């Protein structure tokens, strides 16, 4: 193994360790607090507040035109700075426009359609969307720098803020609004933590109009594809609760939010830490040694598959112990919903954190796999509502559709890598 390989391997391990350690602590705090929160908040509260996250995710999908996805693999540091500044400018503009639009009385009916309290929650959408999008842009900068220390620190601060605000809101009896405030304020604090440690001076970049225009021209096609993929990703990962409201209640959607949160916690400890680190290394290897990237990818997937075994066993046992831990009789069905989410959780753990099609400039492949998942989920949901299937049965079938889409994406990664290997051999 070469010295360069040793350096890359050690950096990947160091960054992964930093993020995994942060996730262990932050997810552990949130998991420990869940039995307390479920005694303060009803399933409906989690359902309504969770829909705020869905709307904010839609904001993030389009706000920056996904210029930040090109930052880690940008050709020069000047391009990376210009892309980051431009992304933050777009995010700020859309947040202000949305905030002004929400002053129009007719918008209340829109949020009411999706089970959200229009007066209490809708103003939080631009705030959460802005903070979350800013955090994503700044995290991409740190991914390029290979510095996950600040990212992990921001996760500590964000998790603690969410926990404190949620507990205080629970004591105050604020219901769904209290949970929504926790999500929003924690995102703001997390984004500010990243901003304060940023080594770039992005404000100065905005004054270099020529550099911004050149970067837009250079990365416009890639950003357009990334935005299309991002929108489809939104429907792939976040629109399911909206679809479920077509045939099921806010209470059952609340079960889904909490079930995914609980079932995803063990996987998030590893996958979230690997994701940023893997993306950073993949961006470097795609340019220099795509064949080694293939081996690195397959090795990581195999290790994550082994880690998924105890996660699956824990989810299968959830109906036996989870209702007792969460406390009140209102949460009696949560265990079986967690078990129904197993295929989706396995797909997220193994394949989501190692997604790197963008480094091959093959966002179209991801677009195809995500569209497959969305079409399958909509068809299954229509089938479930028509036949009046139990909620957990619908979730289980949809989870299998999601897993199938992840397997298709895995095959497309291998195809994209083979194309990159052939192109690299011709150089």
Query: What does the pLDDT read at residue 113?
Result: 47
DSSP 241-292: HHHHTTTS-HHHHHHHHHHHHHHHHHHHHHHHHHHHHHHHHHHHHHHH-HHH
**How many angstroms separate the CA atoms of 57 and 52, rounded?**
9
DSSP-derived letter for residue 70 is G
65 three-state secondary structure = coil
Residue 154 to residue 360: CA distance in whole angstroms: 29
**Calpha distance 203→250 (Å, rounded):** 43
Q: Where are the domains of the chain?
A: 1-17+239-427, 41-223
Instruction: For the chain, give the longest Cα–Cα distance.
Output: 66
Predicted local distance difference test score (pLDDT) of residue 183: 93
Say if CB 393 and CB 266 are below 8 A apart.
no
Q: What per-residue confidence (pLDDT) applies to 273?
A: 60
Token pair for residue 317? 């046992």
* pLDDT the model gives residue 8: 43
What pLDDT is recorded for position 7? Answer: 37
385's CB contacts (< 8 A; 6+ apart) are: 246, 247, 394
pLDDT in tens, the chain (427 residues): 343 344 344 566 676 677 667 777 877 787 788 889 988 998 888 888 888 888 888 899 899 989 888 888 788 888 888 888 889 999 999 999 888 877 766 555 555 545 555 544 677 889 999 999 999 999 998 888 877 788 888 988 999 999 999 999 999 998 888 999 999 999 999 999 998 888 766 656 656 667 678 877 888 888 888 888 788 778 766 767 777 777 787 788 888 888 887 877 666 666 666 666 677 678 778 878 888 889 888 988 898 899 889 889 999 998 888 888 887 678 888 889 999 999 988 888 888 878 878 778 787 787 787 788 788 888 888 888 888 888 889 889 988 988 988 898 899 999 988 988 888 887 7
Q: Give residue for tokens 């100065």.
A: 204
Q: What is the DSSP string of 28-41?
A: HHHHHHHHHHHHHS
pTM: 0.74
pLDDT at residue 48, rounded to an integer:
82
Tell me the per-residue pLDDT of 282-322, one tens digit each, with 9 for 90 and over. 877 887 888 888 988 898 889 889 988 988 999 999 888 88
Q: Quick check: 47 and 254 in contact, CB under 8 A?
A: yes
pLDDT at residue 205, rounded to an integer? 63
């Amino acid at each position: 193994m070469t010295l360069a390989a040793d350096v890359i391997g050690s950096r990947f391990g160091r960054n992964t360790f930093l993020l995994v350690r942060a996730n262990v602590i932050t997810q552990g705090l949130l998991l420990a607090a869940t039995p307390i929160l479920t005694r303060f908040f009803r399933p409906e509260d989690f359902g309504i507040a969770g829909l705020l996250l869905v709307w904010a995710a839609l904001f993030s999908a389009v706000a920056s035109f996904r210029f930040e996805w090109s930052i880690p693999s940008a050709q020069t540091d000047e391009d990376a700075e210009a892309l980051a500044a431009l992304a933050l400018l777009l995010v700020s503009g859309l947040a202000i426009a949305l905030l002004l639009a929400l002053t129009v009385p007719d918008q209340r009916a829109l949020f009411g359609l999706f089970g959200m309290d229009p007066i209490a929650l809708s103003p939080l959408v631009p705030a959460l969307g802005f903070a979350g999008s800013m955090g994503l842009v700044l995290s991409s900068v740190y991914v390029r720098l290979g510095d996950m220390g600040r990212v992990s620190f921001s996760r500590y601060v964000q998790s603690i803020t969410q926990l404190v605000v949620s507990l205080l809101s629970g004591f105050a009896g604020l219901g769904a609004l209290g949970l929504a405030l926790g999500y929003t304020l924690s995102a703001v604090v997390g984004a500010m933590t990243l901003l304060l440690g940023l080594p770039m001076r992005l404000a100065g970049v905005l004054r270099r109009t020529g550099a911004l225009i050149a970067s837009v021209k250079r990365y416009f096609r890639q950003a357009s594809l990334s935005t299309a993929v991002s929108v489809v990703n939104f429907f792939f990962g976040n629109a399911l609760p909206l679809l479920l409201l077509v045939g099921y209640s806010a209470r059952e959607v609340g079960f889904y939010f909490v079930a995914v949160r609980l079932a995803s916690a063990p996987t998030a400890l590893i996958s979230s830490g690997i994701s940023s680190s893997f993306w950073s290394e993949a961006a470097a290897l795609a340019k220099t040694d795509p064949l080694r990237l293939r081996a690195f990818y397959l090795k990581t997937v195999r290790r994550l598959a082994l880690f998924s075994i105890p996660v699956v066993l824990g989810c299968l046992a959830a109906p036996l112990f989870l209702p007792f831990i969460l406390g009140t009789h209102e949460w009696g069905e949560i265990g079986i919903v967690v078990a129904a989410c197993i295929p989706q959780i396995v797909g997220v753990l193994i394949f989501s954190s190692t997604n790197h099609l963008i480094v091959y400039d093959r966002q179209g492949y991801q677009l195809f796999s995500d569209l497959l998942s969305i079409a399958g989920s909509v068809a299954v949901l229509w089938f479930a509502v028509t036949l009046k299937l139990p909620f957990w049965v619908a979730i289980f079938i949809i989870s299998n559709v999601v897993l199938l889409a992840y397997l298709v994406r895995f095959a497309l990664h291998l195809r994209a890598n083979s194309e990159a290997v052939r192109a690299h051999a011709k150089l």
